[in-house]
Structure 1
Amino acid sequence: MKQTWRWFGPNDLVSIDDVCQAGAQGIVTALHHVPTGAVWTPAEIARRQAIVGRMKDGSPSGLAWDVVESLPVSEDIKKQQGDFRAHFANYRESLRNLAAAGIETICYNFMPVLDWTRTDLAWRLPTGATCMRFDLVNFATFDLHILQRPGAPEDYDEALRETCAERFAGMSDAAREQLAGNVVFGLPGAAETFTLDDVRLHLAQYAAMPEETLRAHLIDFLAEVVPTAEELGLRLCCHPDDPPFPLLGLPRIMSTEAQYKAVMDAVDRPANGITLCSGSLGARPDNDLPGMMRRLGDRVHFLHLRNVKRDTPALRGSFYEAEHLGGDTDMVALIAAVLEEESRRRAAGRPDSSIPFRPDHGQDILDDQGRKAQPGYPAIGRLKGLAELRGVIAALSR
């Protein structure tokens, strides 16, 4: 298992020097400044690789750009409208440029509108640490009373609607604005530029799209890009829905083992793979993460290891981001399944026998609370998580 670290580029408040001190072995990053749908050029890729390769004093970092997260899929591709055919071609060109630079693993997602959804980006725990949280009542309050989405009342039972009405009435204007900002933060690249009207417009464009149509569009996308990826020796890996249940009336197609298997079977080629995110999938209690790793492990190209603690056994409910070994997913059993898969790959002579993983998210602890890095991506909280995961790996390997 190769230890990697997500880095958001030169403006990330967690520096390459910090990553070196954390002991990570590789970098997961992306060209966030390139508009979605545009080509990632060789020059931009090389520029990012050069930055990753140096510490602040100019000495070699010993790190390389190992995993792309993410090479984004445009909304036009997801909806099959506008410039989607040109975006297919641009995606293939970006894959060629990444392969030429020696980068082989590319993560993406196919979530409509929202890349992820949380209602609180700094929820306080009894320890004084803070973390990200999804609160179903707060989310429904946003949906019903702030966004005022058509059809929203049908998505919630009467008791929840009444609770939301009481909560909204008790919120100050500042609290309402903060809640809306937290939800909108999950819009890709749009934390400060999307308005509620923008969100309403995007939602309206998906209003009549059933799950089957979005899945068909994903399969069409894969049919366009997987042959190129396979020819180049690349591994594509789709990230699951976050959280893995329907929100805002949007279709969800990568939330369960059955949904993943359907897409893997539809484009049954090794380059069509999975980003197994234990945090996203673990927010749904019927997802068996160790079992999914055993059954789908042949196609798992990248791992996000994090944990969540659910408030309820319901399929759709509130949760918060727990310590890496402290949530509802049996992380020890999951890592054991990963090590078993790696052993099978070594026996088969596969070149990808070491699966890259990163300590996904983390609680803000100690100096993290003053650093104010990207929500969910503190320096010390992730280092703590990485240390815990290393301990499990070392014990099981021995």
Structure 2
Amino acid sequence: MKQTWRWFGPDDSVLLSHVRQAGATGVVTALHHLNDGRIWPAEEIATRKALVEEAGLTWSVVESVIVHEDVKTRTGRYRELIDNYKASIRNLSKAGIRTICYNFMAITDWTRTDLDYPMWHGGTALRFDIVDFCAYDVLVLKREGAEADHPAERIAAARTRHAAMSESAVAKLEANLIGWVPAREFVHDREGFRRVLDVYRDVTPEGFRENLFTLLREIIPVAEEAGVKMAIHPDDPPFPLFGLPRIVKDADDAAAILAACPSPSNGLTLCTGSYGANPRNDLPEMARRFGPQIHFAHLRNVTKEPDGSFHEAEHLEGDTDMVAVVDALLAEEKRRKAAGTEDWEIPMRPDHGHAIVDDIGKKVNPGYSCIGRLKGLAELRGIMRTLETLRS
């Protein structure tokens, strides 16, 4: 597989020289400073591409051209924004960048309650605690209808948890949930978040799904004409939050998305962490089933708890059989190569590494520390090399 690395641009504390030292050859990045629905100009794309290539690397995947909230809800400027999206696809293709990872998560993007959860080895990980989330949703945000979305025993535990929280702990939890995520289109304060939630008040899962399918019927023909592969990222976590619809949470959702607009350009990002947080998902089976439509892979692992909480595990630990997933992806690459497919390699990246060693205490994008991802990539590379040797 093509070994890649997410890079947040010139302001990233992890340098492109570090990416090369980690052993990656491809970069996954985006024009984050322009990610508000406007067209990505050819000149800006060329500038970013030149930075990557000057470091001896290749811009392999765009992550992401963000789908604006107006497009998700089909309100406001959605028509103009869809046209802008098509133009960005065309401009990226002209620059030779032909894989776009994107998501269709309402408002929140990926969500965690704890960005520095202590691990047994002394480093930290990302964690989603369902009781902490309930405490915020019901007792801090006081979202209308929130109590109906949580079982009574969880609300009781949340009340106990919230009573023990200091003001600073509540503020930190709120910042983690609604105030910050790398490359998010915008951030919210509490009142602003309530207002944007209100936009979704009458949006049902069925209606939200149809909004996605309608978007795909518009942009996939453009992507196919331009030779671009669109790879939708699953919801993270893969279950409803804040009463918002989640429509990319399991294998059935993935199959429905592919069927809604059949095309070589309509495909998936196989994120083993996001899909893996849903107990219903069998990741090796999904890798085998959807192999031809997998255009990009995020390889990470999670350890789930019975109540729905989870934390990000070591790449080769956790609940997903990573060896079996990689084996299935390598088998798909072999099939593509035998069929004469020119772009037979599947780009992958190690996702959400732990903060360990010298990265502890440094200012880094949580989940995107250098050494934790370097360790994960080395482990994944070892799996790939071993399986490739056994096949030869």
Could you tell me the TM-score, scaled by structure 1's length?
A: 0.96
**Counterparts of 1:188 and 1:216 in 2: how far apart (Å)?**
28
Determine if the alignment matches structure 1 residue 363 to structure 2 residue 357: no
SS at match of 1:279: coil
Deviation for aligned residue 1:23:
1.1
Question: Residue 27 of structure 2 aligns to a residue in which SS?
Answer: strand
Q: Give yes or no for the alignment of 1:299 onto 2:293.
A: yes
Alignment of 1:75-154 (within 5 A): 75-154=69-148
The equivalent residue for 1:58 is none
How far does residue 191 in structure 1 lie from its aligned partner after superposition? 9.3
Residue 162 of structure 1 corresponds to which residue in structure 2? 156
Q: Please, which of 312, 316, 325 is the counterpart of residue 325 of structure 1?
A: 316
Q: CA deviation at 1:12?
A: 0.3
Cα deviation for residue 187 of structure 1 reads: 5.6
CA RMSD of aligned residues (A): 1.3
Q: Counterpart in 2 of 1:24?
A: 24
* 1:247 alignment counterpart: 241
Aligned length: 389
Establish whether residue 221 from structure 1 lines up as the match of residue 223 from structure 2: no
Partner of 1:272: 266
Percent identity of the aligned residues?
A: 51
3-state SS, counterpart of residue 290 of structure 2: helix
Deviations 1:132-163 (A, max 9, x none): 00000000001011111000000111111111
Residue 339 of structure 2 aligns with an amino acid whose one-letter code is A
How far, CA to CA, are the matches of 1:49 and 1:192 in structure 2? Answer: 24
Distance 1:151 1:7 in 2: 39
Report the equivalent of 1:6. Answer: 6
How far apart, in 2, do the equivalents of 1:173 and 1:179 lie?
10
- Residue 188 of structure 1 and its aligned partner are, at CA, apart by 7.0
Alignment partners' CA distance in 2, 1:83 and 1:15? 36
Alpha carbons 1:116, 1:186 under 8 Å: kept: no
Partner of 2:331: 340
Query: Deviation digits for residues 13-47 of structure 1, max 9, x if unmatched?
Result: 00011111111011000000004210000111011
Tell me if structure 2 keeps the 8 A contact 1:243–1:280: yes
Structure 2 residue runs without a partner (length 5+): none
Question: Does 2:249 correspond to 1:258?
Answer: no
Corresponding residue to 1:380 among 364, 371, 380: 371
TM-score after normalising by structure 2? 0.97
Secondary structure (helix, strand or coil) at the match of 2:325 reads: helix
Report the CA distance between 1:186 and its aligned residue. 5.0
C-alpha separation in 1, matches of 2:182 and 2:119: 27
Please tell me whether residue 233 in structure 1 is matched to residue 236 in structure 2.
no
Structure 2 SS opposite 1:65: strand
Match of 1:350 in 2: 341
| Equivalence for 1:57 | none
- Secondary structure of the 2:161 match is helix
Unaligned runs of 5+ in 1: 55-60
Amino acid at match of 2:345: S
In the TM superposition, what is the alpha-carbon distance from 1:201 to its structure 2 partner? 1.1
For each residue in 1:224-274, what CA deviation from the matched residue of structure 2 results, as whole angstroms up to 9, or x when unmatched?
111110011110000000000111100010001001101100101110010
